[in-house]
Amino acid sequence: MMAKKLPRIINIALVGGGRFCKEFLKKSTLDYRKEIAAKIVAVADPDPQAPGVQLARDLGIKTETDYTTFYDPGYNIHLIILMTPESETLEDILANKPGNIRLLSFQTFEILWTAIGLEERKLRERTEEIETIIDGIQDFILVMKPSMEVIEVNQSFLTKMGYEREEVIGRKCHEIYRKLDHPCESNLVDCPLQDVIRNKRQCRQVQTRLLPNGETRYYEVNIYPIWEKDGKISKFIHISRDITQHKQEEAEITGRLEQMVEERTRQLRETHAKLLHQDKMASLGKLSASVVHEINNPIAGILNLIMLMKRMIEEGALAPKDIERFNQYLVLMETETRRTSRIVSNLLAFSRQSKMERKQVDLNQLIEKTIFLNSNLLKIDGAKIQTKLDQDLPKVLGSEDQLLQVFMNVISNAAEAIEAAGGGLLSIATIPQPQQGAVTAEFKDTGIGIPKENLASIFEPFYTTKKKGKGVGLGLSVVYGIIEEHSGSISVDSTVGQGTTFRIQLPINPDKQKINVHRGSHG
């Protein structure tokens, strides 16, 4: 025989309107009525003023003085629960109730109700413990629905934000945090709750919030979703931590570090300036010794020749052979004088610190002028000149005096290299480079060349491969400094026994571009 199918909702009638009835009505009709598939439809007690009966009337539940009325099919009662311990009532109901109505005795109800009460008390105590712990946490903790409505909040949030509990519970988060009566605009505020919904994972953000007293604070916000079985979010756990002090300390530390770096930088500048001064003084001492020696040699030679010529004149009439010797002496004196002049010019250029005066310079004319000034030197050194100067060469912005100094040094060095080789050719060319916004001047000699190991050092101050009495090693250092000041570049290719090529590249407008300066290269 098949068991009778239970109804969807069980209708319950209570017999006895005392203390148990009142407690049971409170809990079953208020706390659990949405979660239990049962409904209390009537209460019976001979005393209409019994506490359970009065509460039943307040709740809209039917009340009777005679429990036998529950047997009427109109009530559709499925279960009667005894709320009174009288055994006569139990026996009477058992003897007279219809078969379709079940009965729960008072003794059984009392056992179950006591057990439920004990568990409830344990649960309440545990809940109070958890609430005490949560309220003791300094972080802000809120529980919110997916609709952004706050359903729980800890005491720390209420205290620090200056709210009462009733001002928070049931309100939307944007009403509490931003004083808005509408959700935050997504293009203005990156809502962490929406981020959790969108990405289906926990979210962490640092946010700035304005407290009710107008104070701005910084918070680290963490949102943890709680999922239902169907994959939907049932609640958000919103935990935020005030990191304002940490931010302030971080800013103070950053400020102190910046101050320390600034102080250290100042100290390094001072130390650097002292080292530069010491280096300059050391260079000055070295320079002074070299210059005194280099200038003294040609002056001593010139003085000896002058004294020799005077003695020859004092000895009497000069023969044609003496006149020829005088000419030779004068040529030597001219050469030594020019060498002294070059040494002094190089020193002035090397030590010059004043800002150069720039103007439009025609390199072709400057090179021709340099060749003219050095024509006698080139002739003496056995150097022939070949020029290929581009007639459409654009002018460059620079110092005519300094560029003349560059060409004087390069040409005189080439002449000396050709003299050492017993004569040769110096080819000079100018080449426009419109794509690079520059021009190039090329000086190619057929002199003795520069050894490979010396190429990397030829632009360094006081470095020289010339014989003693021929120079102090300042010429190419001066050239390098002037070219660098013009934002240009200089390179050198050389092969021993075949010759050397210097290429000088200058920007047409050095303010618009910077060409890297090369100290040297070789082929």
The CA–CA distances, whole Å, from 288 to 281, 284, 343 equal 10, 6, 12
The residue with greater pLDDT, 176 or 24, is 24
pLDDT value of position 281: 60
Mean pLDDT of 272-277: 66
Residues contacting 346, CB < 8 A, separation 6+: 409, 472, 474, 475, 478
Pick from 158-167, 283-292, 305-314: least confident: 283-292
Residues contacting 134, CB < 8 A, separation 6+: 141, 154
Cβ 519 vs Cβ 492: under 8 Å: no
- Residue in 404, 433, 441 with CA at minimum distance from that of residue 513: 433
pLDDT value of position 285: 57
pLDDT value of position 520: 45
* Strand-strand pairing, 150-153 and 102-104: unpaired
* Strand-strand pairing, 233-242 and 140-144: antiparallel
Say which CATH architecture domain 137-242 belongs to: 2-Layer Sandwich (3.30)
Percent of the chain at pLDDT > 70 equals 78
* Beta strands across the sheet bearing 424-433: 383-389, 424-433, 438-445, 499-507, 489-495
Pick from 107-121, 240-254, 274-288: least confident: 274-288
Mean pLDDT of 426-452: 91
Mean pLDDT of 363-372: 89
H helix intervals, 390-523: 400-420, 475-485
The residue with greater pLDDT, 183 or 242, is 242
Mean pLDDT of 88-115: 89
Q: What phi-psi label fits residue 84: left (phi over 0), alpha (psi between -120 and 50 degrees) or beta?
A: beta
The residue with greater pLDDT, 198 or 499, is 499
Half-sphere exposure of 25 (CA within 13 A, CB side): 29
Q: At residue 234, does pLDDT exceed 50?
A: yes
pLDDT value of position 152: 84
Q: At residue 43, does pLDDT exceed 60?
A: yes
Q: At residue 126, does pLDDT exceed 70?
A: yes
Looking at every residue in the chain, the average pLDDT score rounds to 79
CATH fold group of domain 10-116: Rossmann fold (3.40.50)
> What is the 3-state secondary structure of 260-325?
HHHHHHHHHHHHHHHHHHHHHHHHHHHHHHHHHHHHHHHHHHHHHHHHHHHHHHHCCCCCHHHHHH
Question: Predicted confidence band at 515 (pLDDT cuts at 50, 70, 90)?
Answer: very low
Q: At residue 73, does pLDDT exceed 80?
A: yes
| 52 vs 111: CA distance, rounded Å | 20
- Buried b / exposed e across 238-259, counting CB within 10 Å, b at 16+? bbbebeeeeeeeeeeeeeeeee
Mean pLDDT of 206-235: 79
Question: Predicted confidence band at 212 (pLDDT cuts at 50, 70, 90)?
Answer: low
CATH fold group of domain 355-507: Heat Shock Protein 90 (3.30.565)
Structure-block tokens of residue 156? 């720390």
pLDDT value of position 69: 92
Mean pLDDT of 84-104: 90
Mean pLDDT of 279-286: 54
Bridge partners, residue 76, by sequence: none
